[in-house]
Structure 1
Amino acid sequence: MASNNTEKQKFTFHHPELGPLTGLVQPDNVVQFRAVPYASIPARFKRSILLESLLQGENNHTEYGHFHKQQRREEESTGASLHPRRRLRPRQNRRPALHRPDGSTIDQQWPTHRLRIHPVPPRRFSYLHTSSADSNLALNDQRNALLWIQRFISGFGGDEKRVTVFGESAGSISICYHMLKEPPSSGPLFDRAVLMSGIIGPSTAPCEVGDAEKRYDAFLTRLGIEKRGDEGLRKLREVDVERVVAASAEMGDEGGMWLAVRDKEWFDGDKERVTWDRIPELIGECKWVNDIILGCTSFEGTTFASRYADVKPDAFLSSIKDQLGEESAQIVAKAYNITSTMDQNLFLTSLLRWVGDAIFDAPNHMLATHLSTVSVASRVVASGASEGKKAKNVYRYIFNVRNPFPNNVLYQQPHHWVDIYFIFKAHQFRFPSERLKSISTKHAQLWIDFANGKKPWAEYVSSGKGDEVAMLADEREGWVEKSVNEVEGELEWGYGRCEELVRSWEGKKGGEWAPLDLKCLKGVKKT
């Protein structure tokens, strides 16, 4: 291996099955194998096919891979991009942006070679349901990546029985979906998971096939495609990718999300059980993942500030009443301190808290509470008494570090995805203080320790007394273990608010619905 002062030296590694792969030696003595393909795509909107070997003539992996246009749009709209002018080169292959000898994926902006763990790979146009044969494309892409790791990781010196996945937002939700599907006959695809700001909830639960077909029909109409069936799909494949991205974004701005589809194939014929309220129970039944880190940022909903700035408190309460009923509207009003005539600034804060809870915090709290309760129960009952309920070690955190970039629209907010700026360490050169750099380094180290089988901090054990332990990251103390009572006192909010919100949803159990599908929010676009 090259010395630390060699930055651009090439290194050829001979994999026993894949053959020679040439990568670049980095200053920290990590070899980057960039853009190693793990699957191919027969056509746009078709299910990817796992590659059992390298593509012919492709053994030089010294160049960066392909960056998806959807993610590029997200970065540019939020000022998130580290390399805003980088060139996009879409091709018909699925591949991690980079690949190390131990199997982890790397991206120029999110360089996981500094983490040494295995995340779920990036997305494509993969939640557009075009037919029953090609549903849940994103999940199948990810499964192929995990299957590729199982197939080839040992040749890189890795252990296919010790794979940790982590994801944020949609990535975290995707991991939940993988935990709902039975692993292949060869065995589990991972055994540890880090769920960052994303648990399946009412806003992100899988939709029925019929609803997915209606959304696909609306998508074709938006693109001016009148034909349906095979001819409509053929015309869709001919549409310029920028138009596809723009149309997708427009539909998102008007409300709703591209969701996974509740089909029998992914959910092994038991799709009727997969409703938002049963997700904690179903994830708890996943017998092959025993250790889970899960958490959120401290103000997830601030990303919606510009969109909902003009919503009025009386209109919001009226919409909640129409959606959930009078009793539930009263529960929400009390939990979030909302009155119909309150100050607009105070209301917006409460509204954004509600949005963040509805999409992120409440599902996270539901899962943490269920898993930690089941884990405790299964450890104290006699053997066999809790059959089917695998004890899980649950580690909970709250990320309360604010956005440090003045040119970002969410500057000085602990918003959704702000933790991504820290965990990969790629942005440390931009941080204005050593404290922030140390928080970033500690963040990576905790995730590394967890992937290496260590206990990152004290387990979260639900007691209802406020003595549960969670890890709090903030700018004053860094990463510190605290009781729930301490966290709630310092941040002036509590998990009790999430519990009240879920209580207001009681009448919606067992069915599909979206908390943000309110009259006062309809037609509100991002500004």
Structure 2
Amino acid sequence: MLLSIIPIIASITLVCATPVSVQVEKATFKGDFDPHLGIDKFLGVKYAKAQRFRRATLSTYTSPATFDVSHFGVACPQIPGTNSLAVDYGIYGTDEDCTVMDIYRPHAVPRGKLLPVMVWIHGGALTQGAASHFPGTGMVKESTSIGLPVIQISMNYRLAAWGFLGGKEAAANGALNLGLYDQKTALQWIQKHIGAFGGDKNKVTVYGQSSGAMSIAYHMLDVNQKLFRGAILASGTTTSVPALAPEVYQNVYDALVARVGCSGKPNTFECLRTAPRDVITNASVAMFGQTELYSRRPFAASIDGDVIPASPSVRTAQGKIANIPFITGNVMDEGTIFVNPKDISTTAQCLSFIEKDYVGRNASFFNDLTSIAKLELLYPAVPALGSPFGTGDEIFFGSQFKRTTAIYGDIHFQYARRNFLDVAVSKGIKSWSYIFNQRNPANEAWQGENPFVFMQVSPSDTSLYNLSKEVLAYWVSFAHNLDPAYGKNPKWERYSVGRKNLQFIAGKSSMVADDFRKAGIE
């Protein structure tokens, strides 16, 4: 799981930008051409209209209108960052009607030539994030320079209580998984309109990280989906976190009703719909901090019978995933940023932290003394065996911090990745796997691949910059050819060939067996 950083490119003031326009039906979108980068940018494009606790409605352009899309749009309301992922996503403002996307394309697209489209779905535990945080300028510029140009799109979608409220009332009013429906609506907008921007609607690749990757995996539960032809899942698949029946989250709904002051109202759902936004925000933040009552995910994806048709774990086990090529991978040290507080020093504290993920989930694992004993045996309290891996006896924080992060990372990320790949192999679905095992000295030791994918690594660090170019080349090759190994070295073998990962390390990436911590992960 990657630690987000403030984008380098987003902070640059464009003094030489000139207007550029695109006609979409009867509407004109006025963006900017950056001659220095050779990129057209259309920012804050409104793909849908969002109202609180209602599914968004796709934007239409039946009347003449002009839209200024030369500036980033607002972010969605969210839970402020409280851990190392803390970023001011609201630097361009926030609003509940936040369903916007940013579109980046090469300026010199030959007339009549349609380019592959790469659609980014950001992570942030379904509670944080914004399209503007990872601009696509670096990706588009580099893809063009290597002869594999793409159009890059980043989208907002509703988060936290606004996008992922559970409970029977939310289910009855069609308000489950609104963030996922926003993503689907954005992809529908792309299918309908990306041709006007020079994009090929038949060559859409979705890529995302953490909860963004999990969101893509949920969309892949629709075996007949036609909105994208390929996927790149960074740090997340269908089974990374529980997606449960909406009634499991009834205590969350009831608590929100009480905190907002809607208790006793004849229609608590409509009361929530009309409550002041700040009241909803304050209540959500307070609940998010009470893991003993609501777990670490009070606002989460639910089984709604549609976008998530049934238990993702069950459907995955049954092989009911879309038959499309995909890449999936993790950083080596998954889990480290999620372990808070970090002063875990005893086995009891370690198990208590892991258990908080399952509050109210009817999980029986922690009542099984045999399983607990086996877990303790396979993940011993030895700092040299914990995560961040390869850091010897250094404990960083509490003496069992590294043990806890190793267990957490394997439960939520490494197991989920292997399980998803094994199902794909059994179904004959083309798939590739990677482990990102490169640390950036400019940042914390367990940061991952996102700055590399978006070309946000300083060119002054030659080895890391070259790794960024390497990763980017695989990604855009996949978007063009549905094969990341096309003309690349080292050759990236499909996962079905010996269950191997491409391990990304600056200057020495290579194929390695995917068998680390096999017994513990199983």
RMSD: 3.3
Change (3 A) 1:317 1:51: closer
Q: Secondary structure at the match of 2:431?
A: strand
Partner of 1:449: 477
Q: Distance in 1 between matches of 2:118 and 2:365?
A: 48
Q: 2:501 aligned to 470, 476, 483, which one?
A: 470
Q: Distance in 2 between matches of 1:96 and 1:333?
A: 46
Q: Distance in 1 between matches of 2:243 and 2:312?
A: 8
Change (3 A) 1:146 1:438: same
1:95 equivalenced with 2:68 (yes/no): no
Q: How far does residue 32 in structure 1 lie from its aligned partner after superposition?
A: 0.6
Partner of 1:336: 379
Q: Identify, as 1 or 2, the structure richer in strand.
A: 2
Q: 2:134 aligned to 110, 117, 123, which one?
A: 110
Partners of 1:33 and 1:98 within 8 A in 2: yes
Q: Distance in 2 between matches of 1:182 and 1:119?
A: 24
Q: Secondary structure at the match of 1:111?
A: coil
Partner of 2:408: 355
Q: How far does residue 139 in structure 1 lie from its aligned partner after superposition?
A: 1.1
Q: How far does residue 295 in structure 1 lie from its aligned partner after superposition?
A: 0.6
Partner of 1:32: 41
Partners of 2:99 and 2:155 within 8 A in 1: no
Q: Distance in 1 between matches of 2:257 and 2:271?
A: 11
| Structure 2 gap segments, 5+ residues each | 1-13, 107-114, 121-130, 140-149, 356-363, 386-392, 486-491
> What's the TM-score once normalised by structure 1's chain length?
0.74
Q: How far does residue 237 in structure 1 lie from its aligned partner after superposition?
A: 3.5
Partners of 2:495 and 2:501 within 8 A in 1: no
Q: 2:433 aligned to 391, 396, 408, which one?
A: 396
Q: Secondary structure at the match of 1:200?
A: coil
Q: Secondary structure at the match of 1:163?
A: strand
Per-residue CA deviation, residues 169-194 of structure 1 (Å, 9 max, x unaligned), is: 1111111111112547xxx1111000
Counterpart AA for 1:443 = V
Q: Distance in 2 between matches of 1:228 and 1:265?
A: 30
Per-residue CA deviation, residues 323-351 of structure 1 (Å, 9 max, x unaligned), is: 25132123212221249xx9985532111
Q: 1:234 aligned to 264, 267, 271, which one?
A: 271
Q: Identify, as 1 or 2, the structure richer in helix.
A: 1
Partner of 1:146: 187
Per-residue CA deviation, residues 6-65 of structure 1 (Å, 9 max, x unaligned), is: 9311112334x2543211112222211111111101x21211011122886442211211
Q: Distance in 2 between matches of 1:237 and 1:58?
A: 31
Q: Secondary structure at the match of 2:423?
A: helix
Q: Distance in 1 between matches of 2:236 and 2:264?
A: 36
Partner of 1:279: 316
Tell which deviates more after alignment, 115-124 or 23-32. Answer: 115-124
Partner of 1:517: none
Change (3 A) 1:97 1:461: closer
Partners of 2:378 and 2:520 within 8 A in 1: yes
Change (3 A) 1:365 1:120: farther
Per-residue CA deviation, residues 367-389 of structure 1 (Å, 9 max, x unaligned), is: 112222x1xxxxxxxxxxxxxx4
Partner of 1:297: 331
Per-residue CA deviation, residues 143-184 of structure 1 (Å, 9 max, x unaligned), is: 101111111122223222211000111111111111112547
Partner of 1:66: 74
Change (3 A) 1:84 1:182: closer
Change (3 A) 1:419 1:142: same
Counterpart AA for 2:473 = Q
Change (3 A) 1:394 1:459: farther
Q: How far does residue 471 in structure 1 lie from its aligned partner after superposition?
A: 1.1
Change (3 A) 1:207 1:190: same
Change (3 A) 1:58 1:229: farther
Counterpart AA for 1:59 = F
Q: Distance in 1 between matches of 2:179 and 2:351?
A: 36
Q: How far does residue 205 in structure 1 lie from its aligned partner after superposition?
A: 2.8
Partners of 1:404 and 1:432 within 8 A in 2: no
Q: Distance in 2 between matches of 1:148 and 1:307?
A: 42
1:256 equivalenced with 2:296 (yes/no): yes
Change (3 A) 1:165 1:337: same
Partners of 1:173 and 1:198 within 8 A in 2: yes
Question: Within 5 A, what are the aligned runs for 1:49-198?
Answer: 49-53=57-61, 57-70=65-78, 73-74=80-81, 77-78=83-84, 81=87, 86-90=91-95, 92-98=97-103, 100=105, 107-115=131-139, 116=150, 121-124=155-158, 125-129=162-166, 130-132=170-172, 133-181=174-222, 183=224, 188-198=226-236
Change (3 A) 1:240 1:91: closer
Partners of 2:49 and 2:59 within 8 A in 1: yes
Partner of 2:511: 482
Partner of 2:388: none
1:21 equivalenced with 2:29 (yes/no): yes
Per-residue CA deviation, residues 94-142 of structure 1 (Å, 9 max, x unaligned), is: 1114454866668443112433355662332201132432211011101
Q: Distance in 1 between matches of 2:484 and 2:460?
A: 27
Change (3 A) 1:177 1:235: closer
Q: Distance in 2 between matches of 1:233 and 1:432?
A: 55
Change (3 A) 1:193 1:322: closer
Partners of 1:423 and 1:443 within 8 A in 2: yes
Q: 2:450 aligned to 420, 423, 426, which one?
A: 420
> What's the TM-score once normalised by structure 2's chain length?
0.75
| Structure 1 gap segments, 5+ residues each | 375-388, 500-527
Change (3 A) 1:428 1:294: same
Question: Within 5 A, what are the aligned runs for 1:218-233?
Answer: 218-228=255-265, 230-233=267-270
Q: Distance in 2 between matches of 1:338 and 1:250?
A: 33
Change (3 A) 1:55 1:470: farther
Change (3 A) 1:402 1:332: same
Counterpart AA for 2:134 = W
Q: Secondary structure at the match of 2:201?
A: coil
Q: How far does residue 67 in structure 1 lie from its aligned partner after superposition?
A: 1.9
Question: Within 5 A, what are the aligned runs for 1:357-372?
Answer: 357-372=410-425
Partners of 2:118 and 2:204 within 8 A in 1: no
Tell which deviates more after alignment, 454-463 or 166-175. Answer: 454-463
Q: Distance in 1 between matches of 2:470 and 2:283?
A: 40
Counterpart AA for 2:521 = C
Q: How far does residue 207 in structure 1 lie from its aligned partner after superposition?
A: 1.4
Partners of 1:118 and 1:163 within 8 A in 2: no
Q: How many residues align?
A: 440
Q: Distance in 1 between matches of 2:22 and 2:78?
A: 33
Q: Distance in 1 between matches of 2:119 and 2:230?
A: 17
Change (3 A) 1:7 1:59: same
Partners of 2:195 and 2:201 within 8 A in 1: yes
